[in-house]
């Protein structure tokens, strides 16, 4: 049975992920708003990596130093300001500012949510809880895309009103749930001098950071590539349908991941997910020439594998770092990926769709290599318990024991 504290954490983080999914769709949806000039379209998309970098580098560290709850509550004000700017914007500059603020909140929110989940959920369902609750973000994206599809035919103002009401209701409920969520017990039990402190003098620590960062680079640089970039460019008449189908695939992938990760193990499941992403991306080179219907079918499969990759990464990142460094570790892994994502816009801007897909295939191959390295050398984290480790950062203590199950990662 779940305790009241565990139920509150799960309810609140579920709502968080739903709202995050809604926010992820704001850039592609707002491209169609009449005051957005053509030159600003790339800027709408680059706000996500820039905002995520800002959020990761500030709030991810703050949650280790000052606690999960303080950071968690402060995010609400950031969300409220950013979303109000987006929904009420009358020019592209207000829209860009709002998107930057919203995506900064998302970047800072993820380390807090993942830390709360693994530090609160029962050991026997930790992985499933992480996968299922983060998958709710895709449900939020599906709802937002469906709203945009239904209201865009009426007017842009109707579309913005529907999104504003949805976001406003979600934030109102979050004010209540977040105020009720207690501080994380594992973090609160840490001595003050150990909070946020870490040593990287262990080979296991350097290997974990390197391999998880490479996996993050692979999935971040390929996230939504077919749905958010290539699909709308090649088939602009069905851009809203593309967004909807893709995120339905991600929702399905999340449920599949929650079922399989416990039985297959985090290592094998991660490797299989990256291989699936690589195969569907390569197949897209041929499918692009066949028209929108075959493309939508492939897009559904690509959405499934994209989500299983993100689900496996969420499990690995949330369990591979000790409590005193969990938020910071998750942020460090993701910052490098989003820096490269922002830079990649300049590199890929002039690419043809086929060239862009080959670039994406190379990124997926990078993820396959990193997940293979983790499969060979990394620990199996499914079923691992959380204990406050010494302040030195250890993924697993001695190197010769890395193949054993049940090591502490908390």
Per residue in 217-238, pLDDT (tens digit) is 999 888 767 766 676 667 777 7
Q: What is the pLDDT of residues 306-343, one digit of tens each?
A: 999 999 999 999 888 888 888 888 999 999 899 988 88
| Rounded Cα distance, 348 and 351, in Å | 5
pLDDT band at 203 (very low <50, low <70, confident <90, very high): low
Q: What is the pLDDT of residues 233-242, one digit of tens each?
A: 677 777 777 7
Q: What is the mean pLDDT of residues 53-79?
A: 89
pLDDT band at 14 (very low <50, low <70, confident <90, very high): very high
Transcribe 35-79 into DSSP letters: T--GGGHHHHHHHHHHHHHHHHHHHHHHHHHH-HHHHHHHHHHHH
In 3D, which of 382, 363, 373 has the Cα closest to residue 306? 363
Q: What is the pLDDT of residues 102-125, one digit of tens each?
A: 999 999 899 999 999 998 888 888
| 275, pLDDT greater than 90 | yes
pLDDT band at 409 (very low <50, low <70, confident <90, very high): very low
Which stretch of 54-58, 137-141, 196-200, 316-320 has the lowest confidence by average pLDDT? Answer: 196-200
Strand, coil or helix: what is 199?
A: strand
Beta bridge partners of 392: 199
| Rounded Cα distance, 386 and 388, in Å | 7
pLDDT band at 404 (very low <50, low <70, confident <90, very high): very low
Q: What is the mean pLDDT of residues 238-252?
A: 81
pLDDT band at 11 (very low <50, low <70, confident <90, very high): very high
pLDDT band at 367 (very low <50, low <70, confident <90, very high): very high
| Contact predicate 316/330, CB 8 Å | no
Q: Is 384 exposed, middle or buried (0-12, 13-18, 19+ CB in 10 A)?
A: buried
Percent of residues, the chain, with pLDDT higher than 90: 29
| 61, pLDDT greater than 70 | yes
Beta strands in 112-189 (DSSP E): none
In 3D, which of 256, 355, 259 has the Cα closest to residue 303? 256
Residue 204 CA: distances (Å) to CA of 201, 207, 330, 381: 9, 5, 16, 14
Which stretch of 138-142, 251-255, 280-284, 362-366 has the lowest confidence by average pLDDT? Answer: 138-142
Domains of the chain as residue ranges with CATH? 4-401 (1.20.1250.20)
pLDDT of residue 390: 39
């Amino acid at each position: 049975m779940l305790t009241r504290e565990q139920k509150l954490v799960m309810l609140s983080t579920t709502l968080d992920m739903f709202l995050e999914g809604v926010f992820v769709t704001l850039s592609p949806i707002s491209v169609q708003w009449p005051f957005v000039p053509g030159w600003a379209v790339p800027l709408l998309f680059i706000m996500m990596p820039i905002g995520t970098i800002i959020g990761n580098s500030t709030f991810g560290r703050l949650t280790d130093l000052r606690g999960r709850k303080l950071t968690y509550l402060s995010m609400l004000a950031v969300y409220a300001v950013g979303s109000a700017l987006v929904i009420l914007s009358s020019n592209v500059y207000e829209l860009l500012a709002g998107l930057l603020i919203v995506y900064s909140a998302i970047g800072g929110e993820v380390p807090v949510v993942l830390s709360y989940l693994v530090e609160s959920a029962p050991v026997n369902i930790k992985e499933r809880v992480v996968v299922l609750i983060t998958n709710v973000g895709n449900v939020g994206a599906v709802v937002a895309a469906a709203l945009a599809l239904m209201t865009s035919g009426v007017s842009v103002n109707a579309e913005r009103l529907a999104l504003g009401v949805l976001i406003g209701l979600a934030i109102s409920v979050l004010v209540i749930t977040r105020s009720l969520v207690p501080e994380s017990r594992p973090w609160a039990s840490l001595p003050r001098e150990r909070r946020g402190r870490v040593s990287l003098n262990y080979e296991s620590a350097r290997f974990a950071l390197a391999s998880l960062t490479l996996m993050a680079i692979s999935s971040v640089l390929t996230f939504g590539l077919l749905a958010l970039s290539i699909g709308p460019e090649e088939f602009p008449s069905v851009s809203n349908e593309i967004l909807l189908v893709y995120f339905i695939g991600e929702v399905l992938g999340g449920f599949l991941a929650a079922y399989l990760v416990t039985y297959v193990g985090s290592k094998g499941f991660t490797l299989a997910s990256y291989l699936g992403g690589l195969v569907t991306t390569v197949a897209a080179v041929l499918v692009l020439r066949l028209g929108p219907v075959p493309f939508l079918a492939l897009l559904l499969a690509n959405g499934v594998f994209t989500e299983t990759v993100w689900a496996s990464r969420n499990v690995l990142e949330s369990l591979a770092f000790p409590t005193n460094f969990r938020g910071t570790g998750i942020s460090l892994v993701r910052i490098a990926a989003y820096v490269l994502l922002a830079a990649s816009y300049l590199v890929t801007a002039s690419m043809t769709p086929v060239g862009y897909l080959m670039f994406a295939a190379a990124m997926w191959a990078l993820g396959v290599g990193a997940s293979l390295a983790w499969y060979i050398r990394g620990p199996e984290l499914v079923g691992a318990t959380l204990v406050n480790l010494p302040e030195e950062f250890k993924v697993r203590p001695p190197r010769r024991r890395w193949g054993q199950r049940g090591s502490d990662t908390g």
